[in-house]
Amino acid sequence: MYLNAKLLGTYLVATLVPIIYTAPTGAALPLSTPIGQAAGPPGGSGEVYGSEEFLGPNGNAVNPADSAIVTNYDLVPGQTADADLGLYLDLEKAENPQSIRGSTGGTDPGPPGNMVYEKLNPDLYAPPAEDAGNVDNLHWPMGLSYNHPGLGRAGFARQQNVNQLPAATRMAGVDMRLSPYAYRELHWHQANEWAYIFNGSARVGAVNDDGQTTYDDLNAGDVWYFPAGLPHTIQALGEGTEFLLVFDSGTFSEENTFLASELFLRTPKSVLAKDLRTDVSAFDKTPQNQLYIFPGSPAPSNLSAQNITGPSGSIPNPVSYTYHFSQQKPYVVPGGSIKIIDPTTFPIASNFSAALVTIQPGAMREIHWHPTSDEWNFFIAGKARITVFSAPAASRTFDFTEGDVGYVPFPDSHYIENTGDVDVVYLEVLQSPHFNDISVAQWLGLTPPQIVKDTLNLPDQVIANLPKYKPYILPGNRDLLTTNFTSEGL
């Protein structure tokens, strides 16, 4: 029996396989079909693969018409200056930008489609001479993030986390838009949530573990904070709203939010009925999919109509989850302004500290670093650049525009320079119980002059002019080719 079966198998292989592999075009290909001559769609011509004749030296003559020489280009102001000056190069003014700075770099023959990115990132394309070594990417345009759309044009959300910016390990951000009266559905998170409203207004509410409640109406420039695990609600008011959410985990994902609709979908109806003391028929019309962001009915204009309280009452103001940051006056200095919010004035946000910084054209946020935290930035308006120094001998300069996220790891030094014609406005967010930074100018000003002289060999007059205070922001000339700031002072 076994022998007969074996012989039969051999016969089948010998007779049927050739039939299968000599099927007509469009069916299985013959095993002997040369690579490059596979059947394709009707009307196709030529060969998919080339010939073995193309391998190695074959006497092919160089084609002088195929040139990589670039002759038609223009250089922007400052591009021929010494590379170690590190001047800002406004490549948006160049029709055909080139990777040239002083005597470094070279011309770029293409492809021309990259010009938009090169013009937006001149300090990466034609870097200052000081940039060296290996520094992780610290820049992410939120405009390149996927937009998760809400239902019925109710809004959207897009995010930045370590998937987009791997270096940003301690914080992640979400840009969320809610149309008039739209909801971000009832939810909670694994991470702490700190929020800043860009525009419009929203009504937010929460219930804590003691059964205390809070409801508040917030406007552009206001802030809220909801601790991890705390259920909360966000509804846009009549003009809609857009806001920024910052979370204290770089791996946070908006897609992993705990949603009320999903809670009901993933819990047996009999259990829901037992828990809510009702009949299972009560859940016949509950959502069959998550709501995420969805249209809502108009909220009552009187906040008190929704200010629900139980036996435990309301959350007292000293530990309020909201702060009307828009009403805080900024601290104005030459070159711009700064206003800070941290647990000093907003105690519930125990490890979130932030500064809203405005930098006038030509001015800069002074060189500094943060002694206890990474820095997460979001640029609300204007154009700027940041050079990050990372020990022992690396630095990189990144260019930003509104809608961009920046990240500076602890304790790298950096500055933020306005490179545009309008004010730069950005948020500087830390994971720290107190907003703190080390000012390089103040540090040197409070160091004995002899030590500064022996270390840096600076002129005596420069050392004498070093400030004993923290400048925060330094004014500058709108002409970004300026290199002498003696008359500006500190």
Closest by CA to 72, choosing from 95, 54, 52, 91, is: 95
Q: How many angstroms separate the Cα of 111 from the Cα of each of 73, 96, 115, 304?
A: 14, 11, 8, 61
Cα separation, 245 vs 155, whole angstroms: 15
Q: Hey, which residues does 207 pair with through a beta bridge?
A: 213
Closest by CA to 174, choosing from 93, 255, 101, 237, is: 255
Cis link prior to 392 (omega < 30° from 0)?
yes
Closest by CA to 404, choosing from 157, 166, 144, is: 144
Cis link prior to 411 (omega < 30° from 0)?
yes
What are 134's two structure tokens? 């290996």
Contact status, residue 415 vs residue 375, Cβ threshold 8 Å: no
**Length of the chain measured in residues:** 490
Active site residue 428: yes
Contact status, residue 383 vs residue 409, Cβ threshold 8 Å: no
**Active-site entry in 375, 402, 417, 428:** 428
Q: What is the phi-psi region of residue 15: left when phi exceeds 0, alpha when psi lies from -120 to 50, beta otherwise?
A: alpha
Cα separation, 58 vs 337, whole angstroms: 68
Contact status, residue 159 vs residue 297, Cβ threshold 8 Å: no
- In our burial notation (b when 16+ CB lie closer than 10 A, e otherwise), range 452-485 reads beeeeeeeeeebeebbeeebbbbbbeeebeeeee
Contact status, residue 395 vs residue 413, Cβ threshold 8 Å: no
Residue 25: alpha-carbon gap to chain centroid: 52
Helix (H) / strand (E) element for 383: namely: strand 383-390
Q: How many angstroms separate the Cα of 39 from the Cα of each of 18, 24, 50, 155?
A: 19, 10, 15, 48
Residues with Cβ within 8 Å of residue 211, at least 6 apart in sequence: 310, 311, 312
What are 233's two structure tokens? 């609600």
As annotated, the active-site residues are 428
